[in-house]
Amino acid sequence: MDYKNKTKAELISVIKRLEKQLTLLKKDNSLQEKKDSLIENGTKFYTLVESANDAIFLLKGEIFIDCNTKTVEIFGLKSKKDIVGKAPYYFSPERQPDGRLSRDKALEFIFAARKGIPQFFEWQHCKQDRTPFDTEVSLNRLPPPHEDVIIAIVRDITERKRAEENLRSLNTRLMEEHRQRKLLSKRLIQLLESHNRKISMDLHDHIGQTLVTLKIDLDLIADRVKSPDTSLKLVIEKAKAKTIQAIEDIEKISHGLRPSMLDTLGLLPSLRDLFEEVKKQTNIEIHFFTRDIPKRFDPEKELTIFRVVQEGLTNVIKHSRAKNCFVNLIKKDNSIVLSVEDDGVGFKANGKLGASKGKIPLGLIFMKERVIQLNGEFSIESRVGGGVHLFAEIPI
């Protein structure tokens, strides 16, 4: 084009036309870039959806319109054609001949999602061969301009459900075994106490009375012997002393097996009597503190607390080499809290109630079992050189 002979106005018109063409060209390039970007993003989204381990599909109205490859696998189908065009309730084992039951349930969730309310629920689907399997389903509405389309993500949780059911079954079995063990333990403790009571009564009422009678006979013999032989009298006096010692020993054994004072006077007097006996036999100083303990309460719980204290003190005497033992018994809310603590050598706690050298600490085991039988809590803490602290809490 010859621009030399053009007027100024014509040149301006040409320039404006060129600028317009340039603007249109730039716009075409921008559209192409956007198109390329959309294609790239679409490819990434498609790759993400196809590589997902969950079934992902689109719903329009009540019908599947598209899905990923995982959907075909999870539902046991041959191709996407087997699901596209069908309704969700078609893949439900609850489907009735008219489809109403599953259809109503499915539409309830779909309608809520279509209103913009995300849905998350469990649903039982079935494969093409009608084999049921459990799933978790989430439904969400797509953003405009596709708000009439629902995206669904379905996760197969059949294995998880089976594992949960197995766990529930195992837990039920363990609970039943625990209940049986508690019943057995309770019966053993009852038999032990019944046995102790019988032995205690036999010692006191029979052997004890026999020894008392023997002492009386020895007293009569001593009074009637007129022999100047002092050695005979000495033998009789020794026999009397042995008889008295045997009576005292039987009283102690009988009291240890079943303290009669516990049945007649209650827990606190029985404990104080126990502490006096310990003081006579050892150099251990017992510091006893009590607060708000009822005069009498459930006999079984009184006996349990007494036995725990008794066994705790036995361990202190045998193993601790302690100089002091602190026994605290208080009522806290609806429970009685007991602690027995010494300042002895202690032991290395290993979570096994002080088991060592392959020996089973039956006394401690029985203490724990007695407390557990009454729905209480029992624990024991210790460290080398730091004494032993025994703790029990029993509801009343």
How confident is the model over 360-388, as pLDDT tens digits? Answer: 466 778 788 888 888 899 998 888 878 88
Q: Using the 3D structure, point to which of 258, 291, 324 is the last residue of a domain.
A: 258
pTM of the model: 0.50
Question: Are both 72 and 103 inside the same structural domain?
Answer: yes
Whether the predicted pLDDT of 171 surpasses 90: no
Average pLDDT, the chain: 77
The span from the CA of 177 to the CA of 332, in Å, is: 32
Whether the predicted pLDDT of 42 surpasses 50: no
Task: With beta carbons less than 8 A apart as the criterion, state whether 341 and 387 touch.
Answer: yes
Q: Using the 3D structure, point to which of 242, 258, 274 is the last residue of a domain.
A: 258
Question: Are both 287 and 393 inside the same structural domain?
Answer: yes
Assign 148 a pLDDT band (cuts: 50, 70, 90). Answer: confident
Sheet containing strand 324-332, strands side by side: 285-291, 324-332, 335-342, 388-395, 377-382
How much is the pLDDT for 226?
66
Domain count, the chain: 4
Question: Higher confidence at residue 158 or residue 221?
Answer: 158
Whether the predicted pLDDT of 338 surpasses 90: yes
For the beta carbon of residue 239, count every other beta carbon within 10 angstroms: 16
Instruction: Look up the domain containing 131 and give its range.
Output: 53-156
Question: Are both 236 and 201 inside the same structural domain?
Answer: yes
The span from the CA of 288 to the CA of 280, in Å, is: 16
Asked whether residue 162 is assigned to any structural domain, the reply reads no
Task: With beta carbons less than 8 A apart as the criterion, state whether 373 and 326 touch.
Answer: no
The span from the CA of 44 to the CA of 67, in Å, is: 16
Q: Which of 105-114, 128-137, 235-244, 279-288 has the lowest mean pLDDT?
A: 235-244
Question: Higher confidence at residue 377 or residue 215?
Answer: 377
Q: Using the 3D structure, point to which of 225, 258, 291 is the last residue of a domain.
A: 258
Q: Which of 99-108, 196-205, 294-303, 304-313 has the lowest mean pLDDT?
A: 196-205
Question: Are both 268 and 384 inside the same structural domain?
Answer: yes
Question: Are both 105 and 188 inside the same structural domain?
Answer: no
Strands 324-332 and 285-291: what pairing? parallel
Question: Are both 265 and 212 inside the same structural domain?
Answer: no
Whether the predicted pLDDT of 214 surpasses 50: yes
* Structure tokens belonging to residue 35: 């198109």
Question: Are both 284 and 375 inside the same structural domain?
Answer: yes
How much is the pLDDT for 271?
92
Q: What is the mean pLDDT of residues 276-298?
A: 89
Question: Are both 267 and 250 inside the same structural domain?
Answer: no
How much is the pLDDT for 172?
83
Question: Are both 274 and 348 inside the same structural domain?
Answer: yes
Asked whether residue 161 is assigned to any structural domain, the reply reads no
Question: Higher confidence at residue 70 or residue 239?
Answer: 70
Q: Which residues contact 333 (CB under 8 A, 6 or more apart)?
A: none
Query: In this structure, what CATH number is given to the domain that contains residue 310?
Result: 3.30.565.10
Q: Which residues contact 386 (CB under 8 A, 6 or more apart)?
A: 346
